[in-house]
Structures are given as structure tokens and as C-alpha cells.
Amino acid sequence: MFLARRLVLAHFWVAFAGFLLAILLGEWQMYVRSPLHGWVNNPEHYYRSVTAHGTVMAYVLPTLVAMGFGYSICELALKRPLIGLRWAWAGFGLVVAGTVIAAATVAVGRASVLYTFYPPMIASAWYYIGVVLVVVGSWIWVALMSINLRAWRKANPGATVPLAMFGNVTGAYLWAWTSVGAAVEVLVLILPAALGLRDVIDAGLARVLFSWTLHAIVYFWLMPAYIAFYSIVPRAIGGRLYSDTMGRVAFVLFLVFSMPIGLHHTFADPQVGAGFKFVHAAMTAMVSVPTLLTVFTIVASVEIAGRLRGGKGAFGWVKALPWDNPMMLAVTFAFVMLGFGGAGGLINMSYQLNETIHNTQWVTGHFHLIFGGAIVIMYFMIAYELWPQLTGCATLPKGLVKAQLWLWFVGMMVLSMPWHLVGLLGMPRRMAYYDYTHPALQPQAWTVTASAIGGLILVVSAVLFVYVLATARRTSDSPAPFTFSAPAHAGERTPALLNTFGLWVGMMIALTIVNYGFPIVQLASLPGTAVPAISVGGP
């Protein structure tokens, strides 16, 4: 790497430190909610912890990982120094400042509104200011990704953008547009109420604006993992990328369809009409296409690795795969969890089936499995892969890395599978207290105990992850040059449409206007839907 080494390290360390703290909070929550522990006797502490855990895991960890990974790709894939290093540090500073401000406000109990902060509940203005700073810091990253790509294009006219960078910029543009919804909600609706400038707020409009961000943000979280699937996994396991073009197709489909589907988070809401709910449901079905395409392409790429190692026959290549390689474990675990999590997601998106599980613990189990499981396990691998570049360390201890991955996979399955089940049994979300001696709750008790055990395994895995990174031994040798996956078929020509973003960004914006325009304008112009704001956590 050239200039961005310390920048990326800073991003990753803050991300993983926050991750470790937040996971401890998460396990505490699971434990005190379970039959294993008497009631903690302080509901406010519980909701405070849920707010902190959610805010860090949803807004801080994935943003910093995406930013750090993005800067790395700029240098490693484009093979040139990062432009705008000072701005990048400024962006990082904003993210850290925002995190500290928001976290401190939550820690003193002035912002127990959960990371979805649904108004009319209004927390201390500092919490929202903190979140805004985090988002603004990430916008600086978006701008830098665009600037760096443009500079590279000028220096390499007509050349094909390396796949990793293509995915990276896709994620950046997606994030820029998707963050607009929550930004408008916070700046226009919530902060005036939090600062005392208004004492009413339109709760229905706020929820619709938040839903704009709420689903597409998970694709922003997912992009680093998918970039790793395409551009790192095949190389790491000694294979080839089956199709570079399919990778680009997947990325642009995410760009187009992540956005205009957020109303599936408001299926049960009374302020959105049935027509828009169905349209969003149908388009949510479309956003599963890039994942299905990715599964095919990556499994095919993995198969190439198997056959290159001498595997023969319809399934013999599976045995021949480098199972000793941590990346092999990670991608397998990720796909297993993606399979279960994706199936759960299909139920959530099904217009009518969603009614059975809305706001039950099924939803919580689902997103822990798919984000905490499939995506975060690839965040680990991204860190492991980049660590020699970032710190000049020797190869990381393979045994520990594999143990850490196994613990994460097992812990996540043990945590989330019973969680899905207890959601089907009707357990509601975000409750500080359950009495498992009550006959209606008694069948649910074992699931929470199981989840608490799974969570404990995850804590061990998280500690091991940070330990491996922290104790990586420096060597005096400079690291081997970082390479991305090579395509299986050299000379594959990339269509121009899959080398630029104009059409896809245009579609993303157009679909957003078509799918969200009327609901937002309509709610904003309805008279009398502003309701009294309710302050939480003291004056």
C-alpha cells in the first residue's frame, strides 16, 4: 500500500473495538433476559444497552469497515496512492466524534430510543447529532471513492474498472443515496423536536423516511462481503473467478433494487397504502436475484479451485477443496448462513406471511443470522487478508483463525436458530422482562437459554478475533503484493454498461421517485398528522 495504511488501520481498530464492546452488551442482554438469570430489575438499563448495541453494530461497525476496506481497494486495486488523504482523515475524525457523542449520550441514559429511534419518542439532541456526524463522515468517503475512480479513469482511458473497485464505488453510491432518507428524517423532523423548536412531529412520515434507509443500509453493509466473495475468495483458495461480468451484474442489480423496497419494513404500518406495499414486496423479490447469482458464480469459482487441485467427478471436487484454508471455511459458513438467512428473508418479504412474524423475535433472529453471521464473518476475513498489508505482520496463525471462524459459525447458528423458533411462538421484540413460569411463556424458555449459550460462544470468538489481530507479529519482510482474483477466462470483455454507473444510478433514483415519491409527498402534505413529541430520558 502507499499512503492509506495507517488510515485503514485506524478505521478497523475503532470498528473492532466498538464491535467487542457492543457484543459484550449484546450477550449481557441475552443473558439477563434468559431463564438463567433473575430479572436485572432495571428496564431502563436494558433498553439503554439495546440502544448502544444496535447503534454501534448498525451504524459504526459496518460503516467503518466499508470505509476502511474502500480506501484499501482504492490503493490496492487501482495501484496508485489514495487521493484526498487529509479529507479521509477528516471523515474518520467525524465518524469517531459522532460515535463518541452518541455513545456518551446513550451511556448516561439520555437516548434510550433504540437504534431505529422511532419518533414521536425523542431522545436528547446529542444522540442524533452524533449519528449525523457519523453519516457525514461517511459521505466524505463516498466523495473520495468517486474522485479516486475518476482520476484513475482519466489516467487509464477506456480501461475496465477493476471488479473490486467497481463493487466498492457501487456500495458508495448506494450508501450516499440510501442515507438521504434517515438524514432527512433526523435533520428535518427529529432534530427540531429534539432541540425544542417544535413540539409536534409527523410519526408516519418519519417512519416512511426511515424505511427508505432501513433496508438499503443492509446492502451497504453487505457490499464489502460480496466484494470479498468475488475479488478475494477465489484467489485466496487458489481458484479463479468464474465470471467477472456476473459480478458486475450482481453489483448493479444491488444498486438498482436495494433502494426502492424499504416499505416492506412498514407492511404492518397503517400509514402506507396496499398498492405501494405490494410494489415494494415484488421489487424485494428482485433484490434476491443478485444474491442467487452470486451464490452460483462463487460456488462455480470454488469448484474451479477444487478441480485445479485434482478433484474429479460431479462432487469429487468438494473433497479436493483446501479445507485447511481459513477462507474456505469462511465462505462455506457464510453461504450456509446466507442460505438460512435468505430463506427467512423471503418469508419477511412475502406480503402476507410477514404478518405472522412482524415484530416478533423471528425478525431479530433473522438479521443476526444474515448480518451478524454471513456478512460479519466476511468482515473478519477482510481484516485477516489485509492485515499483512496494513501492519507488515507475518501470516496470521492459521489454527487460531480457523478456531475463531468455527466458533463464530457455531455460536451464530446456536444463537439464531432457536431465536427464529421463539418468534414463531409469538415472543415479542424489545422486552426487558419475561416470566418463564407463566404457562404461555414456558415453552419459550429453552430457546432463550440456547441463544444465551450461542451468544457466549460468539463473545469468545470476538475476543479471539481481536486477540489474533492485536498480537500479529511484525516481520521485517515487506508483505507480498496483494492480488485480487483472476478471471477464469482471460480476455473476457466487459460491456461498457457494466463499466459505468450512469444508467444504474439513474434507475435507482427513478425507482425511488416512483416507489417513494407519492407516499412521502402525501404524508408530508396531509394536514394534522403531526402528533405531540414525547421526550425520553429526562429533560
Partner 1 sequence: MERDRPYAWSNAGFRWSVIALVVLTVGSFLVGFVVLPAVHKDFTVAGLWESICRAAGVPARWDAGATAKGKGSTDVVVVPALARTGGGDAIGRGATIAVQQCSMCHGAQGASEADAPNLAGQYPEVVHKQMQDYKRGDRGGTFMQTIARNLSDRDIADIATYYNSLPKARTAPARYSDTTAPALVRVGDPLRNIAPCIACHGGTDHKLGAPWLEGMPGAYLVAQLRDFRSGARHNDSHAQMRNMTRAMTDGEIADVAEFYARRDKTD
Partner 2 sequence: MTTAATSDGHDVAAASERRWAIIVMVIIALLVAMMIFTGLKWAAMPPSRVETIDPRTLHIDGEFVESNLGTTVAADGRVVTRIVAQQYSFEPQCIVVPAEMPVTFRATSTDVVHGFVVGTTNANTMLVPGFVATFTTTFKRTGEHLMPCHEYCGTGHEAMWAKVQVIPARDFLARAGRGERLSCVSR
Q: Contacting partner 2 (CB under 8 A), which of 157, 158, 399, 491?
A: 491
State the Cα–Cα distance between residues 244 and 162, nearest whole angstrom.
9
Asked if residue 45 lies in contact with residue 537, where contact means CB atoms within 8 angstroms, the answer is no
Binding of residue 301 to partner 2 (CB under 8 A):
no
Nearer to partner 1, 139 or 351 (CB): 351
Partner from partner 2, partner 1, none contacting 297, C-beta within 5 to 8 A by type: partner 2
Binding of residue 513 to partner 1 (CB under 8 A):
no
x/- map, 330-349, partner 1, by CB under 8 A: --------------------
The one catalytic residue among 59, 69, 219, 465: 219
Shortest CB 172 distance to partner 2, Å: 26
Binding of residue 199 to partner 1 (CB under 8 A):
yes
Binding of residue 199 to partner 2 (CB under 8 A):
no
Which residues in 246-285 contact partner 2 (CB under 8 A)? 246, 266-274, 277-278, 281-282, 285
Tell me whether residue 240 is one of the annotated catalytic residues.
no
Instruction: Enumerate residues 6+ apart whose C-beta is below 8 A from 425.
Output: 443, 444, 447
Q: Contacting partner 1 (CB under 8 A), which of 41, 156, 471, 483?
A: 41
Instruction: Enumerate residues 6+ apart whose C-beta is below 8 A from 300.
Output: 242, 243
Partner from partner 2, partner 1, none contacting 503, C-beta within 5 to 8 A by type: partner 1
Binding of residue 297 to partner 2 (CB under 8 A):
yes
Asked if residue 508 lies in contact with residue 255, where contact means CB atoms within 8 angstroms, the answer is yes
With CA atoms as reference, report the closest residue to 390 among 84, 22, 16: 16
The one catalytic residue among 430, 438, 473, 489: 430
Tell me whether residue 53 is one of the annotated catalytic residues.
no
Asked if residue 266 lies in contact with residue 277, where contact means CB atoms within 8 angstroms, the answer is yes
Nearer to partner 1, 157 or 399 (CB): 157
Which residues in 381-440 contact partner 2 (CB under 8 A)? 424-426, 428-433, 440
State the Cα–Cα distance between residues 198 and 120, nearest whole angstrom.
12
Binding of residue 519 to partner 1 (CB under 8 A):
yes
Integer Rg of the chain from CA: 23
Other CB atoms within a 10 A radius of the CB of residue 532 amount to: 11
Partner from partner 2, partner 1, none contacting 279, C-beta within 5 to 8 A by type: partner 1
Nearer to partner 1, 286 or 299 (CB): 286
Which residues in 220-279 contact partner 1 (CB under 8 A)? 256, 271-279
State the Cα–Cα distance between residues 37 and 34, nearest whole angstrom.
6
Binding of residue 187 to partner 1 (CB under 8 A):
no
Tell me whether residue 430 is one of the annotated catalytic residues.
yes
State the Cα–Cα distance between residues 272 and 152, nearest whole angstrom.
44
Letter string b/e over residues 106-118, b meaning 16 or more CB atoms within 10 A of that residue's CB: beebbbbbbbebe
Binding of residue 355 to partner 1 (CB under 8 A):
no
Taking CA atoms, 498 is separated from 77, 167, 240, 251, 493, in Å, by: 17, 11, 20, 9, 10
Secondary structure letter of residue 371 according to DSSP? I
Other CB atoms within a 10 A radius of the CB of residue 453 amount to: 18
Q: Contacting partner 2 (CB under 8 A), which of 258, 360, 389, 461?
A: 360
Tell me whether residue 215 is one of the annotated catalytic residues.
yes
Binding of residue 351 to partner 2 (CB under 8 A):
yes
Q: What stretch of H or E contains 223?
A: helix 203-231
Task: List active site positions.
Answer: 215, 219, 366-368, 429-430
The residues that touch partner 1, with contacts defined as CB under 8 A, are 39, 41-45, 109, 158, 199, 256, 271-279, 282-283, 286, 432-433, 435, 438, 495-500, 502-503, 507, 511, 514, 518-519, 522-523, 526, 532-538
